[in-house]
Structure 1
Amino acid sequence: MFDGIQRRIVSMWFPRLPADRALRVCPVDGPFALTLKDSNAVRLYSLNLQAEAQGLHAGMSHADARAFCPGLQSRPADVIGDGRFLLTLRRWATRYCPWIGLEGEDGLVLDVTGAAHLSGGEAAMLDDMRARLRRAGVSVRLGLADSRGAAWALAHSGEGRAEPGRPLEALAGLPVAALRLDDGIGTTLQRLGLRSIGALEAAPRAPLTRRFGPGVLLRLDQALGRQSEGIIPLTEPPHYGVRLTLPEPVGLLDDVMAGTARLLDRLCVRLKAQEAGARVLCLTLRRVDQQARMVELRLAGPLRDPARILPLFERGIGEVDAGYGIDQLRLEVTQVEPLPVEQLTHASAARAGRLEDLVSRIGVRIGLENIQRFLPADSHIPERGFVIASAAWSEPGGPWVALRPRPLRLFPPEPILGEGPQPPRQFRWRRMALTTARATGPERIAPEWWLEDGNWQSGIRDYWQVETRQGWRLWLFHTPQNPGWFVQGEFA
């Protein structure tokens, strides 16, 4: 109790939350279940009412379930999606009270103290919750009591509402499993004849503590309101969106850019407070005819400097048809990345962000995905010593490490005439007659046997650096298993 008001808690239990979510997206008729792979077996994860009526249950083998119910329809479960759906339900439940926490993976707990009268009383509030969730296709069981434990017990043992100050009257007939006890402890209590919460409350406390420890009586006291149990609400993630409504419609590029600058100033202050940077921004321009035009800006790196972001919007805004005028601007960051504060020296501050700004400017024209960079890869095979990655979504991989010099240009092996393990003194390459002046080598490179590569099926290669009298500096290799000579690269 606080300030003379009796604390009231609502427990929402969604017994078929994953199945309800899946059926909302794609309804089916008849028995339905979601499956989840457990070790090497596929088991039922969540079922609808028709499947439960056929005697199926969660944890059952999918093969056994199909044998019992040939008409069973199933899909793979999406545990991550179920978690997001529960968070969506939590946001929906804020219509009843602001203090809401999660109750495991399939429930919510609401502190409705002093808020029930806004919905017409406790009974009307529960009816409204049940009706709205039923229309949304979500099964729910509700419990309302003075404590979190009592509300949970009522929700999971049938639905019910305990009168204020009298929790034992509502809980006395419920099984001891409703106290959130481990299955083993609950079974042992039933074997001792303590099958209900009322019987457990009437039993001597000292023998129970000696036999089971303090946990059983702690759960009992929490349910009956003798021991407080808090509710930890989830904090809403920061929202990076700002809006500007104009008194008069505008249509000139300079006017829209000026409004965007004001929005960016406010938005970057929020980003700085959270030590975050924007990667993708979306500017929505609402015209007076209620149609909207969107300008998306994707950045090469996290950024929260308005002076660097604003010029990148100019091209996209200039292509927008303002119609009879724009009367509202909305700017939102749709993708955020951490951008902690760093200590910058005078030299590093001068060059900070230059590459990212260049990539962002080019990306506005041709798309960030079309700007790529070479990164070193851990492979001794010449053509596998690098990977190509998006420049906007990767970091430079550091210096290139090679024990021997590598050519500036690599190309697929081109055969030339030659015999023996030593480089040929004279050979023709690309219709040119060349004479070897100096050769350095060999450098033997073995294939990566664990990877399939048709170019390396001939086995090991002996590489040579060959300087010709005509000025060409080439990279040649010889294949001892299947004798032959090839040119694969050219040095600067």
Structure 2
Amino acid sequence: MFDGITRRIVSMWFPRLASDRVLRTRPVDAPFALTITEQNTQRLYCLNAQAEAQGLHRAMSFADAHAFCPDLLSAPARPDQDARFLAALRRWATRYCPWVGLEGADGLVLDITGASHLWGGEAALLGDMRAQAARAGLSLRLGLGDTRGAAWALAHYHEGIAPPGQGLCALQSLPVAALRLEGAQATGLQRLGLRTIGDLAQSPRGPLARRFGPELMLRLDQALGRTPEAITPEREPPHYATRLTLPEPIGLSADVMAGTGRLLKRLCDTLKADEAGARVLCLTLQRVDRASQQVELRLASAMRDPARILALFERGISTVDAGFGIDQMRLEASVVEPLPAQQIGPKTQPTPDRLNDLITRIGTRIGLENIQRFLPADSHIPERSFLIAPAAYSQPKPGWPESCWHAPRPRPLRLFPPEPIAGTTPRPATRFRWRRMSFTLARSTGPERIAPEWWLEDDSWRSGVRDYWHVETREGRRLWMFYTPQTPGWFVQGEFA
């Protein structure tokens, strides 16, 4: 009881949540199952009704299932997408009451105390839930009782409504597994002859608690309302957006910049309170003729400094067509990343703000993905000793390449695919031609032998080891050349500055 009102709890169970999610977009008229790999065995994860009618069940190996049902269609399971889909269903369920929480990986729990009369009663409320789920192509089982445990038991084992104050009468014929017990506990109780909740409720508590532990009695008391059980609603994700309605339409770029500055101040204060930074900002400008324009700003790093962000908006705002005037402005941070506060001290490394701002300015013209940087890689093979990554989505390695490249010999500034030249002797030739130019050897340093990484497939290194030489020519070119002992030949692969 709560202030004289009996709590009423609804349990929504989606027994085929994963398969229904997939079949909503790709319906099939055949047995269908999602599979998942467990301990090197592909097993059934979720099935549709037609597959269950063929005698298939969850955790069954896919090979056995296909032998029983040759027409079985399958697809890989995606538990991460199922979790996002269930989170969307939780938001949808708030139409019935504000207190909605998750119940495992395929269910919801709702506290509808004082809300059922808005739908014409409890039966009408459950009827609307079923109709909405059927319209969306979802299988749904419902249970309603005074407690969370009672509602769960009814949803999973006997759909229905337990009248207020009569939880034991509604649950006594259900199996003991309806108390949300583990399989070993339910099996142990059945071996003792305690098959239903009614049998368990009439048995002495002491011996059962000593044999099965306190959790058994806790589950029974929660289902019967003797011990309270909380329903914790999921916290809504933060939404970073702010709006400004203008008393008079504006059209000058300076006025739009001033309004954007006011929006940025409010938005950045909210981001700072949550220790977050914006990566993508979207400014929507509503004109008096109801048309709207958007200015998107993608930042090279998470940021919440309104002055810096405002300067980066200038180019996009200058291209806006104000028409007869702008009377509404809305600014939203559509992509947000954590940006914790940093301790400021004498040893604090300065953040590359100017570089990030430059990357943002160039990225607005050519795209952030097209601005790239080199990063070190853990490989002694020259072609694999570095990576190329978008500068906006990676961090530079401090001190690289000087302090991070542990090569025994210096490496050239420029690397390119090996280019063959004439020669078969183990030492560099006195005179050779490369790229239609003649060169005379002045000095050479080497060899540095580099062996291929045998655990990786690389056609260019199948010839075996390479002996690298640092060659200085009288013409001034400093080349990085290698010799292949297995198949005698010379190649130029790089050039020093």
Q: TM-score, normalising length from structure 2?
A: 0.92
The structure 2 residue matched to 1:479, chosen from 481, 484, 488, is: 484
Q: Are the structure 2 counterparts of residues 43 and 469 from structure 1 closer, same or farther at C-alpha, using a change threshold of 3 Å? A: closer
- SS for the counterpart of 1:392 is helix
Distance in 2 of aligned mates of 1:250 and 1:87: 41
**Cα distance 1:165–1:464, how it changes in 2: closer, same or farther (>3 A)?**
same
Letter paired with 1:138? L
Q: CA deviation at 1:21?
A: 1.6
Where does 1:71-470 land on structure 2 (aligned, <5 Å)?
71-345=71-345, 352-398=352-398, 399-400=400-401, 401=405, 402-418=407-423, 420-470=425-475
Q: Compared with structure 1, are the counterparts of its residues 210 and 467 closer, same or farther at alpha carbon in structure 2 (3 Å cutoff)?
A: closer
Q: Distance in 2 between matches of 1:480 and 1:67?
A: 56
**Alpha carbons of 1:471 and 1:100: their partners in 2 closer, same or farther (altered >3 Å)?**
same
Greater shift, 209-218 or 193-202, is seen at 209-218
The code of the aligned residue for 1:449 comes to W
Aligned pair in 2 of structure 1 residues 157, 383: CA closer, same or farther (>3 Å)? closer
SS across alignment from 2:296: strand
Q: Which amino acid aligns with 1:409?
A: R
Q: Distance in 1 between matches of 2:422 and 2:206?
A: 97
**Distance verdict in 2 for CA 1:190–1:370, change over 3 Å:** same
Label 1:435 to 1:64 Cα distance change in 2 as closer, same or farther (>3 A): closer
In 1, the alpha carbon distance for the partners of 2:482 and 2:222 equals: 79
Inter-partner Cα distance in structure 2 for 1:45 and 1:347? 53
Match of 2:38 in 1: 38
Distance 1:144 1:376, change over 3 A: same
Q: How far is 1:386 from its partner? A: 1.4
How many angstroms does 1:345 deviate by?
Answer: 4.5
- TM-fit CA distance, 1:255: 2.5
CA contact (8 A) 1:264 1:306 kept: yes
* Residues in 1 aligned to 2:356 and 2:298: alpha-carbon distance in whole angstroms: 11
Distance (Å, rounded) in 2 between the aligned partners of 1:31 and 1:432:
70
Q: CA deviation at 1:186?
A: 1.7
Cα distance in 2 for residues equivalent to 1:72 and 1:453: 40
Does the 8 Å contact 1:241/1:330 carry over to 2?
Answer: yes
Between the aligned partners of 2:330 and 2:256, the Cα distance in structure 1 is 11
Distance 2:339 2:286 in 1: 31
Which whole-Å deviations, capped at 9, do the CAs of 1:74-104 have from their partners, x for residues lacking one?
A: 3332211111111111111112222222111
Tell me how far apart the structure 1 counterparts of residues 301 and 200 of structure 2 sit (CA, whole Å). 61
Residue identity matched to 1:357? D
Tell me if structure 2 keeps the 8 A contact 1:282–1:333. yes
- Change in Cα spacing, 1:256 to 1:67, as seen in structure 2 (3 Å) is same
* Distance in 1 separating the partners of 2:454 and 2:213: 60
Shift in Å at residue 15 of structure 1?
1.3
Greater shift in the superposed pair: 268-277 or 61-70 = 61-70
CA separation of 1:414 and 1:38: change in aligned 2, threshold 3 A: closer
Asked whether the 8 Å contact 1:278–1:303 carries over to 2, the reply is yes
Tell me: CA distance 1:93–1:459, structure 2 relative to 1, closer, same or farther (3 Å): same
1:41-60 mapped onto 2 (5 Å cutoff): 41-60=41-60
Measured against aligned partners, the alpha-carbon deviations of 1:113-172 in whole angstroms (never above 9, x if no partner) come to 233333333333222222222222222222222211111111111212222222112112
- The 1:200–1:486 alpha-carbon spacing in structure 2 relative to 1, beyond 3 Å, is closer
1:312–1:364 Cα contact (<8 Å) kept: no
Task: State the SS of the aligned residue for 1:2.
Answer: coil
Judging changes above 3 Å, is the alpha-carbon distance between structure 1 residues 203 and 45 closer, same or farther for their aligned structure 2 residues?
same
Residue 476 of structure 1 deviates from its aligned partner by 2.8
C-alpha distance in 1 between matches for 2:272 and 2:495: 49
Query: What is the count of residue pairs matched by the alignment?
Result: 492
Residue 28 of structure 2 corresponds to: 28
User: Are 1:491 and 2:496 counterparts?
Assistant: yes
- Equivalent residues of 1:9, 1:145 under 8 A apart: yes
| Residues 353, 212 of structure 1: alpha-carbon distance in 2 compared, 3 angstrom cutoff | same
Alpha carbons of structure 1 residues 73 and 470: separation in structure 2 relative to 1, 3 Å: closer
Which secondary structure state, in structure 1, belongs to the residue aligned with residue 264 of structure 2? Answer: helix
Whichever residue aligns with residue 270 of structure 2, its letter is R
Alpha carbons of structure 1 residues 259 and 433: separation in structure 2 relative to 1, 3 Å: same
Quickly say closer, same or farther: Cα 1:58–1:348, change in 2 above 3 A: closer
Does the 8 Å contact 1:172/1:196 carry over to 2? yes
Q: CA deviation at 1:395?
A: 0.8
- Aligned-pair Cα RMSD in Å: 2.3
User: Taking structure 1 as reference, are residues 455 and 325 closer, same or farther at Cα in structure 2, changes over 3 Å only?
Assistant: same
Moved more, 341-350 or 141-150: 341-350
Aligned letter for 1:458? S
Give the TM-score of the pair, scaled to structure 1: 0.93
Q: Larger deviation: 424-433 or 225-234?
A: 424-433
1:421 shift after superposition: 2.6
Deviation (angstroms), 1:67: 4.0
Q: Give the drift of 1:23.
A: 2.1
SS of aligned partner of 2:341? coil
